[in-house]
């Protein structure tokens, strides 16, 4: 089992806001859906990053850009603009850090050019 960390500041802020709205009953339909899909994906990644439903694979363009293996896992399948979680192993053994959440890139030629990922540094876990 891996301990999930959130890259800062973007991922931690997004997840905290989704949790706050969910717990307070303030989520829009889209936010509630994103909260549930992201939470499920993080649970699956924590238990088994290679879970078949995640369709996890390395994104070599991002690995080259960031100098560390960057993995992509699906939030859902067969859905236009379905969300993708981007993550790396670390900072320590048994840790995974979520460093991005983006819709599936539409532009096939420069698919990952526009994606900007957060730092792997972390002050806490999920």
- Domain tally for the chain? 1
Q: What is the pLDDT of residue 115?
A: 62
- Asked whether residue 120 is assigned to any structural domain, the reply reads no
For the chain, what percentages of helix, strand and coil (3-state, to nearest 5) are there?
35, 20, 45
Among 10-24, 41-55, 68-82, 94-108, whose mean pLDDT is lowest? 94-108
Q: What is the pLDDT of residue 7?
A: 85
The whole domain housing 58 covers: 3-103
- Asked whether residue 75 is assigned to any structural domain, the reply reads yes
Query: Checking DSSP bridges between strand 3-6 and strand 95-103, what pairing results, if any?
Result: parallel
What predicted TM-score, i.e. pTM, was given to this entire model?
Answer: 0.83
Distant-in-sequence, close-in-space partners of 38: CB < 8 Å, separation ≥ 6: 15, 18, 75, 83, 85, 101
- Asked whether residue 115 is assigned to any structural domain, the reply reads no
- Asked whether residue 121 is assigned to any structural domain, the reply reads no
- Asked whether residue 40 is assigned to any structural domain, the reply reads yes
CATH of the domain at 11: 3.30.2310.20
Cβ atoms of 71 and 56 closer than 8 Å = yes
- Asked whether residue 118 is assigned to any structural domain, the reply reads no
- Asked whether residue 10 is assigned to any structural domain, the reply reads yes
């Amino acid at each position: 089992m891996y301990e999930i960390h959130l890259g800062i500041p973007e991922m931690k802020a997004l997840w905290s806001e989704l949790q706050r709205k969910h717990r307070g009953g303030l989520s829009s339909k889209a936010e509630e859906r994103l909260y549930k899909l992201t939470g499920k994906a993080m649970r699956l990644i924590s238990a088994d990053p290679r879970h078949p439903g995640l369709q996890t694979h390395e994104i070599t363009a991002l690995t080259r850009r960031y100098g560390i293996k960057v993995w992509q896992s699906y939030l859902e399948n067969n859905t236009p603009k379905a969300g993708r979680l981007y993550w790396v192993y670390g900072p320590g053994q048994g840790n995974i850090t979520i460093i991005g959440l983006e819709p599936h890139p539409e532009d096939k030629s420069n698919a990952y050019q526009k994606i900007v990922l957060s730092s792997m540094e972390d002050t806490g876990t999920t």
